[in-house]
Amino acid sequence: MEPFCHPLEVRWSDCDANQHVRHTAYADFCTHARIEWLRGQGFGFEQFQAQGFGPVIFKEWTEYFKELRLSERIHVRLAIAGLSQDSKRFCIRHEIYKEDGRLAARHEISGSWIDLTLRKLTTPPPELGAIFAWAERTEDFQALD
């Protein structure tokens, strides 16, 4: 599959008192990119709501390389770093690039899917599993148990 890369612009609300992007904004950029990726594949918020499930994040971390500042144009690229055979568990790596192509940050999440009625982990529907199955993989992709 083609790599997914979502453009964004750093807003005033993304910045902190040090005049650069606050650490939590990086996670927000990546969340937005994931939602746009899924929506672009035909699995938007409406499908999650109609089927009564959603993502649950167990762990996330960010590694910073270059400062981002107000009004910079950035791109968030995402790829699957880990996936269980049934797509119940996943790991997604995001790379945030400055407009000049330099890597500004790497943000990774690991999670699963939760049935919002039962409040238990669940396997996603086949159409969502297929989106993850065909997504770009990282070079160090790992199959998850």
The CATH number that applies at residue 82 is 3.10.129.10
Q: Is residue 144 in a domain?
A: no
For 129, phi and psi rounded to 5 degrees? Answer: -60, -40
Q: Is residue 14 in a domain?
A: yes
pTM (2 d.p.): 0.95
Q: Residue 145: pLDDT band by 50, 70, 90 thresholds?
A: confident
Q: Is residue 81 in a domain?
A: yes
Q: Is residue 126 in a domain?
A: yes
Give residue 3's pLDDT: 84
Give residue 59's pLDDT: 98
pLDDT of 1 above 80: no
Residue 63 belongs to domain spanning: 4-139
CA 113 to CA 124: how far, in whole Å? 7
Give residue 57's pLDDT: 98
Copy the structure tokens of residue 7. 């453009």
Q: Is residue 65 in a domain?
A: yes
- pLDDT 10s digits, 51-64: 999 999 999 999 99
Single-letter residue type at 117: T
- pLDDT 10s digits, 74-130: 999 999 999 999 999 999 999 999 999 999 999 999 999 999 999 999 999 999 999
Q: Is residue 94 in a domain?
A: yes
Q: Is residue 145 in a domain?
A: no
Query: Are residues 67 and 14 in contact, defined by beta-carbon separation less than 8 angstroms?
Result: no
Single-letter residue type at 11: R
CA 132 to CA 22: how far, in whole Å? 30
DSSP 46: H
Angle at 56 (CA atoms; ends 92, 61), nearest 5 degrees: 45
Provide the domain count of the chain: 1
